[in-house]
Structure 1
Amino acid sequence: MHWVAWDLVTRSKKNGGLGIGKLKLVNEALLAKWAWRYRSEITSMWRKVVTACHGKSRKWFDFPCNATSTGVWKNIMRSESKTGIDVNWSWSRAIFSQEEMAELAEASVVLAGLATSDTKDSWKWTLEDSGIFSTSSFKKAASNQAPVDPIYRIWTGGWIPAKCKIFMWRVLIDRIPTRNALARRNVTVDSENCAFCGVLTESVDHLFSGCETVCAVWVWLSDWAKINPLFAFSFKDVMLMHKGASEDKRARLIIRGLIMVTCWCVWKARNNKIFSNGRGSVEEIIGEVKSLDFFVAKVQVQV
């Protein structure tokens, strides 16, 4: 069963994904880079060879346009249309219709800010301050990803195990196999009730903030870390609990790591109770949190 859409997985971390790039987009960016190099490296030998092999370009198009072109160069020519570079144009007849007059007025507005100079013309990649093409800027523009709330971004922190960070990301977008999520996807389950308390429906919000077993774990964590009591009414509240726990930035990052590890241990204890006849008790979860937190703290000290 696929829990997260591939388009969401391949989004950048800043825009709520895992930062796994699409191979198709990477290929298009590399092809577009060759198109850019053909335009800018006018005196290079490889450009002359390509021009000799594929013939001269048409007047309105500055690429060799041999109709029988095949292979890599044909793909590069196709990618050229995605680089955002406009083709030069000129009038072939007088303007007659009102529609054409309106289009000319619109074009005049667009070109109003342009200025000419005595220097030689050159190509400039407007997506980079340097004016030089880069595959990263091409991929960013081609992916067209809308910004998201920072809370939906995968949490950072080099000393936090990657499995915990990815798990928290999946929980936040409700993409873990809770009993309620399985039932919504027409998967047969013995019961939709929580594996710990067995009273209410096992949803993301209940499992990590409403279950009495997990609430007892949050109370213990507050006492153990010597911070203000941690309260949450939804999983989003869990994600934000560290912000009010301390005024010190470093302390908040550590508490955030403890919360991430605790959520991972809660989920692990839940699975052990269902599939391995585990107890699923508060003491079992606390013991797992202590052991994993000790490992995390040890790694942090070494770093």
Structure 2
Amino acid sequence: MAWAKWKLILASFKKGCLNVGSLKAFNLAMLYKWRWRYLMKPNDLWVSLVKSIHGNIFESTLGNSLWSSIVDNCSKIINDKLLPVDVFKMQVGNGRNISFWHDIWTGHDSLANRFNRLYHLEINKHHTIADKLVTGSWCWTWNRPELTGRNVSSLQAIQDELGNVLLTEAEDKWSCSISADSVFSVKGARSHMDRVILPSSNIPTTWNKIIPRKVNIFMWRFIHDYLPLRWNLSTRGLDINTIIFPVCKNGVEDRMHLFFGSSFAMDVWRKVKLWTDCNMPYFNSWEDFKGWIEDGNLASNSRIRLEIIVTTLLWALWRFRNEIVFNEHFCNRASLVDVIFLYHFRWLKNRGHIVSNWNSWRLFPL
């Protein structure tokens, strides 16, 4: 039984999901890296070979070759808006290696696309910036003696945009607009594509590195009510013998009753409350607890520890319930709080390296 859409599993923590990542986005990012290599290493032997066969411009080619497939997929990535048009942008140095019309070096698209009318009137369509900027002025070569109408206003617009362009002795270089260090990475491209194609959840994911991964996943399922509780199973059409909570046998086994409302759960909450010695009320949901802890006056370290304690409590209740349902064991309720103590101490000591002494921690858990 699928409790959540697969895309919710793939999307990032910021979107309220499990951050597995999309293999489709990973594959497309790997393909798009060929374009970055093609631009960054123009003098490599393989680039020279590709140019001799397919031409100098990285654009769709005819045929069914491997390179044609790579180029077509890169074009599709841009056309589907998985990456921005200006994902690769030239930083102007001496202007000798930047195509004035075809490369993206000003604005979010090439000048050929943005000023299409002027581009078709241009005679020297493959000039570099250095060819066009002569002694501080732009040199235009049109295929007609004089521009008229809309072409005049377009020329004025392009000159206004390029009015502050200055050439230096530095080499021109490519930069990646979706990366903080301006260097393309498969990881960054994959994350960007995942943000575009994958859905979001209404509840952001809280992933705590101090607690084990399986407990983090349990908490995600708990918060979204994706646990296979008897009430949830019945609402999804499964024919089960009873929906009564097997521990107390005095209520429907749903999320609220198992973790907050049953006399069994409230007794565990009461003991944990006494142990932590904080003025913590009884809650009806995880959202109530989060709201209380965010509005409270606890120090940041105490808030982190208390949140881990409550997470441990919920995890212990879930394991206790499963032992009764699946293994039909008689579990000692009194020992459940000791289990919570043990889990919490082990995680703080071995994974968080926050505590080391059992006795001092037991007396002052926060």
TM-score if structure 2 supplies the norm length?
Answer: 0.67
> Which residue does the alignment assign to 1:12?
12
Match of 2:179 in 1: 128
Q: Structure 1 residue 206: deviation in Å? A: 2.2
Counterpart residue type for residue 176 of structure 1: L
Please tell me whether Structure 1 or Structure 2 has the larger radius of gyration of its CA atoms.
Answer: 2
- The residue aligned with 1:67 is 62
2:51 is matched with 51
The aligned residue for residue 200 of structure 1 is 251
Counterpart of 1:288 in structure 2 is 339
Change (3 A) 1:268 1:241: farther
Per the TM alignment, residue 246 of structure 1 is displaced from its structure 2 partner at its CA by 5.4
The one-character-per-residue Cα deviations of 1:162-193 (angstroms, maximum 9, x if unpaired) are 22211111100111101111112212211112
Query: Which residue in the other structure is 1:253 paired with?
Result: 304
Give the CA deviation at 1:239. 4.3
Change (3 A) 1:155 1:124: closer
Shift of 1:129: 4.4
Whether 2:166 is the aligned partner of 1:115: answer no
Q: Which of residues 213, 221, 229 is equivalent to 1:178?
A: 229
- What are the within-5 Å matches in structure 2 for residues 1-303 of structure 1? 1-52=1-52, 54-57=53-56, 62-63=57-58, 65-71=60-66, 73-81=67-75, 82=77, 83-85=83-85, 86=109, 88-89=112-113, 90-91=116-117, 92=120, 114-115=161-162, 117-119=165-167, 123-143=174-194, 144=196, 152-156=204-208, 158-240=209-291, 242-243=293-294, 247-279=298-330, 282-299=333-350, 300=353, 301=355
4+ aligned runs moved over 6 Å, structure 1: 110-113
Output the CA distance in 2 between the equivalents of 1:236 and 1:281.
29
Match of 1:97 in 2: none
2:176 match: secondary structure: coil
Using a 3 Å threshold, how does the CA distance of structure 1 residues 147 and 190 change in structure 2: closer, same or farther?
A: closer
Distance 1:111 1:174, change over 3 A: farther
Rounded Cα–Cα distance in structure 1 between residues aligned with 2:317 and 2:296: 21
Change in CA separation of 1:65 and 1:291 when aligned onto 2, cut-off 3 Å? closer
Unaligned runs of 5+ in 1: 94-103
Q: Relative to 1, partners in 2 of residues 1:111 and 1:258: Cα closer, same or farther, differing over 3 Å?
A: farther
Q: Deviations over 1:43-94 (max 9, x none)?
A: 3333112222x3215xxxx2265422423x233212322243356343359x
CA deviations on 1:279-301 (whole Å, 9 max, x unpaired) are: 46642422322332332243233
Asked if the contact 1:192/1:202 (under 8 Å) is kept, the reply is yes
Cα contact 1:196–1:211 (8 A) shared by 2: no
What letter corresponds to residue 80 of structure 1 in structure 2?
C
Deviation at 1:3, TM superposition (A): 2.3
Contact 2:60/2:72 (8 A) holds in 1: no
- Distance in 2 (alpha carbons) for counterparts of 1:196 and 1:114: 73
Q: What's the counterpart of residue 96 of structure 1?
A: none
Amino acid at match of 2:49: V
Please, which runs of 5 or more residues in structure 2 have no aligned partner? 78-82, 86-108, 122-150, 357-366
Equivalent-residue separation in structure 2 for 1:279 and 1:243 (angstroms): 38
- Report the equivalent of 2:142: none
Structure 1 range deviating more: 18-27 or 43-52: 43-52
Which one-letter code corresponds to 1:79 in the other structure? N
Q: Identity over aligned residues, as a percent?
A: 23
CA distance in structure 2 between the aligned counterparts of 1:239 and 1:257, rounded to whole angstroms: 12
Verify the 8 A CA contact 1:31 1:75 in the aligned structure 2. no
CA contact (8 A) 1:262 1:289 kept: yes
Cα separation, 2, equivalents of 1:13 and 1:142: 15
Distance 1:111 1:130 in 2: 29
User: Is the contact between residue 216 and residue 282 of structure 1 (CA under 8 Å) also seen in structure 2?
Assistant: no
Moved more, 190-199 or 160-169: 190-199
For the residue of structure 2 that corresponds to 1:176, the secondary structure is coil
Asked whether the 8 Å contact 2:11–2:199 carries over to 1, the reply is no
Distance in structure 1 (CA, Å) of the matches to 2:61 and 2:232: 55
The one-letter amino acid of 1:290's match is: F
Q: Deviations over 1:175-218 (max 9, x none)?
A: 11011111122122111122223232222122212122111111
Q: Which has the higher contact order (CA 8 A, sep 6+)?
A: 2
278-287 or 206-215: which moved more? 278-287
Alignment RMSD, CA only?
A: 3.1
